Amino acid sequence: MKDLPLSKVYQLLEPGPVVLLTTAYKGRANVMAISWHMMVEFEPPLVACVVSDANYSFAALRATKQCVIAIPALKLAPKAAAVGNCSGRKVDKFKAFGLTRVPAERVSPPLIAECFANLECRVADTRLANKFNLFVLEVLKAWIDRTQKDPKTIHHHGHGRFAVDGEMIRLKSGKP
Ligand SMILES: Cc1cc2nc3c(=O)[nH]c(=O)nc-3n(C[C@H](O)[C@H](O)[C@H](O)COP(=O)(O)O)c2cc1C
């Protein structure tokens, strides 16, 4: 075993798919990329997300307490990376990257038509938002686009490297 810099630990434990998080604030929708998220509860589904306070989306999420988690498949990877590399402070990212807004049912931020799944969320807990930029979201409504067959999610490994969701295997429960 060799020493691994602590600065690289996140590249090992960042397993979840890259998702896009939409917000709507002061009459304008915005979108950012997120890969620091984890499931916290099955039902109602709770998801913890780290949204850095350096991002424009932080203020929107804290003020409006609403967002949509939109999950892109492989073909959207370049757009997802682009969305995660510029700020909505200056750019209308939906326009700039050709992402289609679709009105949500339960929240103000839009769904993204090109994503294979969209989760309408409310902020359920902000107790760790000031300390760790961590928001616990409750999924209020979930959408899936079944016309996208076998969507492959993308998983960030740092510095522009992404793994693509691979082969599906089935194991009998508890008997590998
Ligand atoms: C693949 C990828 C994953 C990212 N994951 C996160 C994350 O988990 N949390 C975060 O705060 N920013 C993350 N970012 C950075 C934001 O998406 C980026 O700072 C974005 O420009 C913020 O946009 P905004 O200022 O419009 O909110 C990620 C970027 C990329 C490209």
Residue 103 Cα to ligand 1 middle (Å): 23
Verify whether ligand 1 is closer than 6 Å to residue 11 (CB atom): no
pLDDT at 12 over 90: no
Residue nearest to ligand 1 atom 18, measured at CA: 84
CA 159/CA 162 separation, integer angstroms: 9
Q: What is the tens place of the pLDDT at every residue in 119-164?
A: 999 999 999 999 999 999 999 999 999 999 999 999 999 999 999 9
Tokens of 77: 């990877």
The DSSP code for 76 is G
What integer best gives the mean pLDDT of the chain?
Answer: 94
Q: Which residues pair with 19 in a beta bridge?
A: 34
Residue 106 Cα to ligand 1 middle (Å): 24
Q: Span 1-8, mean pLDDT?
A: 87
User: Residue 136 in contact with residue 129, Cβ under 8 Å?
Assistant: no
Q: Note the pTM of the prediction, 2 decimals.
A: 0.95
User: Residue 173 in contact with residue 89, Cβ under 8 Å?
Assistant: no
Residue 32 Cα to ligand 1 middle (Å): 5
Q: Identify the residue whose tokens are 């009998």.
A: 172
Tell me which of 25, 32, 47 to substitute to probe ligand 1's pocket, judged by most ligand atoms within 8 Å of the beta carbon. 32
CA 60/CA 109 separation, integer angstroms: 10
> How does residue 73 score in pLDDT terms, banded at 50, 70 and 90?
very high
